[in-house]
Amino acid sequence: MNIAMLLDMAVAGDPDRVAIGRRDSGTTCAELRDTAAGVAAVVRRSGARELVFAGVNGPAFPMMLFGAALAGVPLVPVNYRLSAEALTGLLQHTEKPLVVADEAFAGVFGEAGLDVRTPEALLAQGRAAEPVDGPEGSPDDPAVLLFTSGTTAAPKAAVLRHRHLTSYVLQTVDFASAAPDDAVLAAVPPYHVAGIGSVLSNLYAGRRMVHLGSFEPGAWLDLVRSEGITSAMVVPTMLARVVEHLGGGPADVPTLRALAYGGARMPHTVLEAALRAFPDTGFTNAYGLTETSSTIALLGPDDHRAALSSDDPAVRARLRSAGRMVPGVEGQIRDAAGGVQPPGAPGELWVRGPQVSGEYKGAAALLDGEGWFHTRDLAHFDAEGYLFIEGRADDTIIRGGENIAPAEVEDVLLRHTAVREAAVVGIPDEEWGERIAAFVVTHEGAAVDAETLRAWVRTHLRGSKTPDAVVFRDELPYTPTGKLLRRRLVTTAPDD
Ligand code: AMP
């Protein structure tokens, strides 16, 4: 199945339903289909093999996603915040691209000698063109190429084929299940897999999409209120900024029934503050990877409520979990020797299912003989199948032969009232192999010294997990999608 079929189903279900934008003036499902078919004609006429998009999230993004699908070429959304050098570097991995870029980011591509047009120009050409009929190609063709965040390695393009993305939607979303007033606020950038998943699943569910191009907490809250937004998805750094903006007060968003978070580990302190600020909103933790076509495990609103109100420590602990695997996806924990681990035992997570691609452009799929994909996340399942993610295996600090998951130390630091953000990394050391460095951002006006924080960790964890150095910073480096850039911290750590 081609992802354009999801659009065709939405049109067949209700052509006049507003799919994108304001209720009174937005784009209907039928208009979205027509524009996408025109965009497809422009793409085909150009002879391009890929449609590259460098721009913020907005109505043009779904039109290009389906336009590319109808033209039979993949959409390649790229991170417009990258440096000119990095962006032109990414383009070397593309084939005969048609480049579409917001005015603000177009210069880079022009300087690299590429033909570049704005989304507005592409859509205008599309509306004037003779629309194409059906989608071209097979379900096995790439629908989207996504450069992975590259927090630990050079970026590579994950290949998501039509069959992966449609499997994800068909397995996890009920067709036309949204209520007539439902509206989702799309604030995750197009180059993140959650941005792609959001377009497909909300269109299929029949939920109007409202876009916020550049995230800012005040603007996000205003839009939720003014547009009567009923659901939204945020990465942890966005939720942290919303909570901070509210300063302990209530969010006052009566329409917001559902708030999903994911894309990186959610600090527990932020989640607790958010649960207090949004008392009437149902929270969902969504865990997934680019290579798995977005969400593969979910902790839903009922799980959040059950965990919050339970006296059973095992149930309470689930507030820190990523929930259970979604239908159609299996998960397995394996130890270093490949042995499958029982519930409770830690190891690395392997996953399998029709939405799991595990493939990068120019390389064979990284699935084992039985179709399992190695996520490289440290994890365990509890006895009832709840998945706990402890972080990337590559981030493990090995100090004097002992494996230390940074998340464990970060969680303890974050429980100190003076600490707002914390990042723990391993620094190469001749004696220990690696030493532990903690980078800390304190709350405004809070005063704490390094020795106090070291003592705080020592009283909560084993002595060997105490940071050897605590470094105070005004801010920590994150990707726009909320991932901590640990490599950057390692290179700026103090020597002693
Ligand atoms: P990416 O492919 O760039 O989206 O990164 C995927 C990685 O982000 C996963 O392997 C996890 O390490 C992390 N991640 C994504 N969602 C969650 C979540 N809900 N909780 C914890 N970590 C997450």
Verify whether ligand 1 is closer than 6 Å to residue 193 (CB atom).
yes
The residue whose CA has the least distance to atom 14 of ligand 1 is 264
Verify whether ligand 1 is closer than 6 Å to residue 148 (CB atom).
yes
Give the distance (Å) from ligand 1 centre to CA of residue 293: 12
Tell me what percent of the residues of the chain surpass a pLDDT of 90.
Answer: 81
pLDDT band at 261 (very low <50, low <70, confident <90, very high): very high
Verify whether ligand 1 is closer than 6 Å to residue 377 (CB atom).
yes
In angstroms and rounded to an integer, the radius of gyration of the C-alpha atoms of the chain is 23
Between 491 and 286, the higher pLDDT residue:
286
Give the distance (Å) from ligand 1 centre to CA of residue 146: 15
396-491: CATH topology is GMP Synthetase; Chain A, domain 3 (3.30.300)
Verify whether ligand 1 is closer than 6 Å to residue 166 (CB atom).
no
Instruction: Name which of 291, 284, 272, 366 is nearest 329 in CA terms.
Output: 291
Helix, strand, coil percent content, the chain, rounded in steps of 5: 35, 25, 40
Verify whether ligand 1 is closer than 6 Å to residue 188 (CB atom).
no
Amino acid in the structure at residue 118: T
Give the distance (Å) from ligand 1 centre to CA of residue 389: 9
4-172: CATH topology is Rossmann fold (3.40.50)
Structural domain spans, the chain: 4-172, 396-491
Q: What is the pLDDT of residue 401?
A: 86
Ligand 1 atom closest to the CA of 392, numbered from 1: 12
Model confidence over 384-425: pLDDT tens digits? 999 999 989 999 999 988 889 999 999 999 999 999 999 999
**Pocket mutation for ligand 1, best pick of 265, 318, 483 (most atoms within 8 Å of C-beta):** 265
Verify whether ligand 1 is closer than 6 Å to residue 406 (CB atom).
no
Q: Judge whether residue 217 has pLDDT over 60.
A: yes
pTM of the complete model:
0.91
Question: Please, which residues have CB within 8 angstroms of residue 395's CB and are 6 or more apart in sequence?
Answer: 152, 405, 406, 425, 486
Ligand 1 atom closest to the CA of 285, numbered from 1: 19
What is the distance between the alpha carbons of residues 7 and 3, in angstroms, rounded to a whole number? 7
Instruction: Name which of 291, 360, 361, 365 is nearest 49 in CA terms.
Output: 361
**Lowest-pLDDT choice from 40-54, 133-147, 282-296:** 133-147
**β-bridge mates for residue 409, sequence order:** none
**β-bridge mates for residue 360, sequence order:** 158
Verify whether ligand 1 is closer than 6 Å to residue 264 (CB atom).
yes
- Alpha-helix runs per DSSP H in 375-495: 406-414, 450-460, 486-491
Verify whether ligand 1 is closer than 6 Å to residue 405 (CB atom).
no
pLDDT band at 81 (very low <50, low <70, confident <90, very high): confident
